[in-house]
Amino acid sequence: MEGRSARDIWEAALGELQVQVSKSNYRTWLEKTTGLAYDNGQFVIGVPTTFIAEYLDQNQRSLIEKTLIGITQQDTRVHFHVNGRHEEPPVNYAFDETTPVREASPLIFNSKYTFDAFVVGSCNRLAYAAALGVAENPGQNYNPLFIYGGAGLGKTHLLHAIGQVALSAKIEVLYVTAEQFTNEFINAIQHRKTAEFRNKYRSVDMLLIDDIHFISGKGQTEECFVHTFNELHNASHQMVITSDRSPKDVPQLAEQLRSRFEWGLVVDIQPPDFDTRLAILQTRVEREGITLPPEVLEFIANQSEQNIRELEGYLNRVTAYAKLVRTPLTPRLTAEALKAIGKKAPKKVTPKTVIESVASSFQLAPSDLIGRKRDKETALARQIAMYLLREETRCSLAQIGQELGGRDHSTVIHACQRLAGDIEASPSLRRKINEIRQGWPQ
């Protein structure tokens, strides 16, 4: 395997990593990386900035090395090169409350995410038509346009398509994720640049904001966005907003935001049926000049029923694997390439799973969270358990209270609201909660 190109090996790894990490993480940290060299178990990855090198070293090294070991079948140690030079991230680097929040860089829209490249089916026809209407006549019909649906179904694709039409029409457009909006808002407060922040977001002709559910429960950020929304709406400046669920179903979302999101048009995107999945794969291979037998595309189309991004990740994995083994693709080879990642069962999140995972993360026993211990660490762990039970299960407030020792529902509400605010202000707490989620059993 060491005789193979490091670039080809890394392309195969990216195909697998794309279906293992979230969309925002992949695009922020992995999308612009390259495989530079592979020799004697040492794999060198090219990254664009020191910041990305530091993040990958501290947060994704284990996953990256595990993925490369699975592909190369050899023990592998990764190293990072930044702009052609070797970069060893500081050993003691950590993202904590003292780490300055970095402002999001201006986004260059992905040229592949156009309306022409969007495969339309019964699952997304209304969302596509509404997005195209907004792009061609911003501020006229649907303001805001609110698009919701599960991960990887094309919401971000439509935002980029709208943005590119706006740019071609010389419209001042700004795309940002809700997480970036939140981080910039915190940064503006810390550095006393709130006037600059307001001017940036309230002076544009079109605002495209992705994953708005991220700000739910974050009181100050929600209030700031209400004012931003009002300024833009009053000036008939177009807003397009996406979320993983409809406004009425976003937990802890401020009512004043919920009602505003429903002023315009709310449309959903459903998971694609088999014909649409197959059409998506056919469009992708035609665009990239890849030749694959129809039976291989049909095999891949059957591997993911819920997620287009996952489907494309499987295609990346299969085509990269074929390059590595230098063998024409067949359904049998496709199955071999996907055997480690295809058709993964969804994680079953139950109250017991949440409580045990949180307790283990804090090196506590589940009985500590259910009991009456009130030291600082146990109290925090209990609040996190309440928060995750609210976010990840269908338990009512009363049920959450019962699961955690018969506590009152008002206690649960207070804990969830307090933790939501703490998460907004603490990158280390956000990372802790993400680690708990990632550790849930299959």
**pLDDT score for 20:** 77
Convert 136-151 to b/e letters by CB count within 10 Å (16 or more is b): eebbeebbbbbbbbeb
327 and 362 Cβ atoms separated by less than 8 Å: no
Note if the bond before 144 is cis, omega within 30 degrees: yes
pLDDT at 305: 66
209 and 242 in contact (C-beta within 8 Å)?
yes
What is the Cα–Cα distance from 377 to 83, expressed in whole angstroms?
Answer: 42
Domains of the chain, each with CATH number or no CATH: 6-87 (3.30.300.180), 125-269 (3.40.50.300), 274-338 (1.10.8.60), 351-438 (1.10.1750.10)
Residue-level pLDDT at 187: 84
Q: What distance in Å separates the CA atoms of residue 142 and residue 134, rounded to the nearest whole number?
A: 7
pTM of the shown model: 0.57
Q: Count the residues in the chain.
A: 442
Query: In the prediction, which pLDDT does 206 show?
Result: 94
Please report the pLDDT score of residue 108 as a whole number. Answer: 64
Residue 101: the pLDDT is 35
* pLDDT score of 209: 93
pLDDT tens, position by position, for the chain (442 residues)? Answer: 445 678 888 888 888 888 777 776 787 788 889 888 888 788 989 888 877 887 888 788 888 988 888 888 788 889 888 764 433 333 333 333 333 333 333 446 778 889 988 988 888 999 999 999 999 999 888 999 999 988 788 898 999 999 999 988 889 999 988 888 888 888 888 888 888 888 899 889 999 999 898 888 888 889 999 999 999 999 999 999 999 888 988 888 888 899 999 999 999 998 888 888 888 888 888 877 777 778 888 888 877 766 787 788 888 878 777 777 777 777 777 777 776 554 444 456 789 999 999 999 899 999 999 999 889 999 999 999 998 888 777 788 888 999 999 998 888 888 888 887 787 677 678 778 877 876 666 5
Q: Could you write out the three-class secondary structure of the chain? A: CCCCCHHHHHHHHHHHHCCCCCHHHHHHHHCCCEEEEEECCEEEEEECCHHHHHHHHHHHHHHHHHHHHHHHCCCCEEEEEECCEEECCCCCCCCCCCCCCCCCCCCCCCCCCCCCCCCCCCCCHHHHHHHHHHHHCCCCCCCCEEEEECCCCCHHHHHHHHHHHHHHCCCCEEEEEHHHHHHHHHHHHHCCCHHHHHHHHHCCCEEEEECHHHHCCCHHHHHHHHHHHHHHHHCCCEEEEEECCCHHHCCCCCHHHHHHHCCCEEEEECCCCHHHHHHHHHHHHHHCCCCCCHHHHHHHHCCCCCCHHHHHHHHHHHHHHHHHHCCCCCHHHHHHHHCCCCCCCCCCCCHHHHHHHHHHHCCCCHHHHHCCCCCHHHHHHHHHHHHHHHHHCCCCHHHHHHHCCCCCHHHHHHHHHHHHHHHHHCHHHHHHHHHHHHCCCC
Query: Rounded distance, CA 223 to CA 208, Å?
Result: 18
Strands 34-39 vs 42-47: parallel, antiparallel or unpaired: antiparallel
What pLDDT is attached to residue 358? 93
Please tell me the predicted confidence (pLDDT) of residue 4: 67
